[in-house]
Structure 1
């Protein structure tokens, strides 16, 4: 019989692995930002663009789930994906939001290994769109206010959502490594302190830390490996920032996911097999 410690090695393949589905808290987190941004902060996106992303992601997931798995399933994850696209991308063209949402769902459904997707759906789609269609879309960190009140709301909602998803250790590891490498860039390479650590006070990086990097199904399932995963993302992000690569956190996460998630799942599968066979 597998004990509790060995059960913790399971790769999360179903939201039923949680007592309370953390996606509801993530959706509350994202919806609060969208509403505050559109009503109070003057975000660049239009309601039409955001709704386009949500409708396309929901429709794509419903259709593909029916075709592939022969079931009808409420597309809660797709609503989260479409909402996330609306926060992460800025473009005057609604088709950009539709394309990003479509890519998010298709890649999540078909780029998989051992019953789980490899990339955070929002992350990989945003990276592809920003890299190949940068004349039509940008990421929008500057539209976020650095006001103390907004920052505190982000922190409280983010901490709660990631705690419920059992991924708060990922957030702390990433923000800690970001701070460490920011200080190294300041004292070793002469980067201004505000430039090195300023992003920590901005909602853009916090949105990345609390929403994107913490996806339970595309991060390691054991605590030690999650901490290492987030540290590596922070380290690669720091290298990209030294070379002034735009949107460094997005590229860092996609590359670290590509390099680590498959080997981790192979290792976990071997450990579970040894436990079950007693070898």
Structure 2
């Protein structure tokens, strides 16, 4: 994380801007809702992880976020983002870490291996500082943090699993077990329609998920009702409304959202057809990776085009000899502006070669 200048044609340092007011509001509301849901989960619903683990997850997430921000601020010669805004500024800075820590602990089950959970939280928060791509001239994370942390745990520790879906409603009876997903859907719809603007993504994901279940049934003979039944569970509802809609790692334009949500559904269908368990998390990670690689491809193509334009501008017209000779004072005087112009032009793609379908930070089950 070295200090770089846009004028030199390189990416600037990775300092993140202040969150958009709508995103801050979304972060705050989701941080509150996931906190309330965890409290109810351990006291009423039947969460099976030890009650101390959410506190450990939060402490780990806060510490990792602050330490990495201090390191980045020092490397980029800037003030850490959690300073200067008082307690409110610190609180807003820690919203993403708060959501990530609680979500990862809530959605994974690693028996009594608390250090595996801690490892997953560190990976989830740390990925925002490692897996980045140039978007509108700034390096920004493209991998959904909590989803990536869960996927890494599942890959590195085969004995680990996703938290059993029944624990979201284990201790409640009908009609309460129907009321819980209804509340989540209502709250999630309000959040995503009013603040994150990810309803196109949700629609594409839900429709795509239903289609892949039907296609797998028709082609492979699997149970279509069984594939569709997954959509009625609390875990699916949570994933749909609060994880896949993360505005920091999903596009903002409608058709780009459709491509992202439909892409995750299609990859999930392929992984499930290949008998790969927990495909929902791996599919999301793979689509986020493709999006990050796309950003890098656009950025590098822009730099290459800018360099070609700069070379054409600096080259003399055909058949005309260079006006200056080696060692003349005119050579030094004209070469410097040409080099400066080339550097300025080569730097522009860092700002222009970005996906127009992106927005900042880390919300939604991060």
Q: What range describes the TM-score normalised by the shorter chain of this pair?
A: 0.7 to 0.9
2:19 and 2:290 map into 1 onto residues whose CA distance is 27
Which residue of structure 2 lines up, in the alignment, with residue 90 of structure 1? 109
Which residue of structure 2 lines up, in the alignment, with residue 102 of structure 1? 122
Q: Deviations over 1:121-178 (max 9, x none)?
A: 111111111111122x211243333931111011112212222111122112111110
The structure number with the bigger radius of gyration is: 2
Which residue of structure 2 lines up, in the alignment, with residue 10 of structure 1? none
1:33 and 1:266 map into 2 onto residues whose CA distance is 40
Q: Deviations over 1:193-219 (max 9, x none)?
A: 331101110111122212221111111
Aligned residue pairs, count: 262
Matched, 1:77 2:75: no
CA deviation after TM superposition for structure 1 residue 265, in Å: 6.5
Which residue of structure 2 lines up, in the alignment, with residue 139 of structure 1? 162
2:273 and 2:44 map into 1 onto residues whose CA distance is 34
CA deviation after TM superposition for structure 1 residue 271, in Å: 11
1:71 and 1:15 map into 2 onto residues whose CA distance is 12
1:261 and 1:220 map into 2 onto residues whose CA distance is 11
Q: 1:274 to 1:186 in 2, by over 3 A?
A: closer
Structure with larger RCO (C-alpha < 8 A, sep 6+): 2
2:352 and 2:114 map into 1 onto residues whose CA distance is 47
Q: Deviations over 1:97-134 (max 9, x none)?
A: 21111111111112211221020111111111111112
Matched, 1:120 2:144: yes
Q: What does 1:37-52 correspond to in 2, within 5 Å?
A: 37-52=41-56
Q: CA RMSD in A?
A: 2.3
Structure 2 unmatched ranges of 5 or more:
1-15, 74-78, 83-89, 171-176, 303-348, 355-366
Which residue of structure 2 lines up, in the alignment, with residue 273 of structure 1? 352
**More helix by percentage:** 1
CA deviation after TM superposition for structure 1 residue 185, in Å: 2.3
Q: 1:104 to 1:247 in 2, by over 3 A?
A: same
TM-score normalized with structure 1 length: 0.86
Q: Is the 8 A contact 2:127 2:145 kept in 1?
A: yes
